[in-house]
Amino acid sequence: MKKDTAQFQVEVTQQQNIDFANISGDWNPLHTNFEHAANSAYKKPVLHGAYSAGLISRLAGMYLPGDACLLHDMRLRFITPIIPPARLTVVGVVEEQSSATKRVAATIKDTDTGQRYVEASYGFSLHEIKEKSSNKIDANFTNDVANSADNKPKYLVTGGSGGIGSAVLELLGDRAFALSHTEMVGAIKSWPVNAPIAGIIHCGSPKPDNEPLLDINNPEVSIDHHITAPLLQIQKLACLLNEYGVENAPLILVGSTAAQPGRHAYGMPLYSLTKSLIPTLVRIFALELALNKKRCFGVAFDVVDGGINQGMSTVAKLTNADRSAWGVLATPQGAAEQIEWMLENRSYLVSGCMVTLTGGAIG
């Protein structure tokens, strides 16, 4: 973090009230109607309270800390209403710096008189921004594969934008291509015959949910997204490997201990259901792919410090690290190294197995 304090100034007008009403849908006449506001204690329209929250968000995202901000929470106390037009100064000071999650105290005050309108605070941490791997293909995927510099078999990796997937792509380098969900839909029909597949590593999956099954308002859509679509994707990948994979090529399915009883209290029920498909699919495809001398096996990791878990709080990281006998969390790079280790095992005996790699982490 570059600064311990930051501030900026802004002028607000009644047009900002109208613009914000358009964005938020909050057309309460106290904010947007002069005749209604004239009968109130304030005599004029009052700035939306949420507009003030937006100014605090601007302080976090643009100034304190800026680009790398990952906002955790925000608290506001409205002292007196802001009545446009007004010139405002937004000031922030870092109060806590002893942990990975820092806290800022902020105020919104009148630039001319110094009157305080809003007192606020927010907690944040810093996120990392990684460059995209050069071997990720976004367009004309099959043509790029067919026209690659050599005809050596390549690995296909799904979930290349996630923590484990991007780490696998980085580790395999020019031995691998990224395969997006869109590309895998039509890959079987359009796959170039001169592009043999060395294996497929399926790291992609929907982001974890956080809503109890009993509370889902639109279960058809949610279940289709988390269960049906991932199942179809894996089936297409298996068909692609069966058709174009070299002899002994593996389909590796990346699972999670979130599907195991007692591991994470099923706090992500649909994600747990998605990952619970993996062991059964591994056994099914191990039998079916064996008919064409291909293999299928799976690997399940516990909490990995990256990807979908990138926003974990310091407390959550410490809690999950304490569940490990080693006292540390796995990294995406460490997970990728284990996947590469499995790729190096050429034995047919591993087909059909599900390897849980947790370092002895307890449930």
**Cα angle at 208 between 240 and 210, to 5 degrees?**
150
Res 313: pLDDT? 73
Phi, psi of 264 (to 5 degrees): -135, 25
Res 265: pLDDT? 76
* pLDDT tens string 195-254: 789 999 999 888 888 888 998 888 888 899 999 999 999 999 999 999 999 999 999 999
The residue ranges of the chain whose pLDDT is under 50 are: 1-2, 132-139
Do strands 86-96 and 116-126 pair parallel, antiparallel, or not at all (unpaired)? unpaired
DSSP string, 147-200: TSS----EEEEE-TTSHHHHHHHHHHGGGEEE--HHHHHHHHHH--TT--EEEE
* pLDDT tens string 246-272: 999 999 999 999 888 878 778 889 999
Domains of the chain: 5-126 (3.10.129.10), 141-357 (3.40.50.720)
Res 124: pLDDT? 87
Q: Output the six-digit token pair for 241.
A: 């490997």
Res 127: pLDDT? 73
**Residue 99 DSSP code:** S
**pTM to 2 decimals?**
0.67
Q: Report the C-alpha gap between 254 and 298 in whole angstroms.
A: 6
Res 131: pLDDT? 52
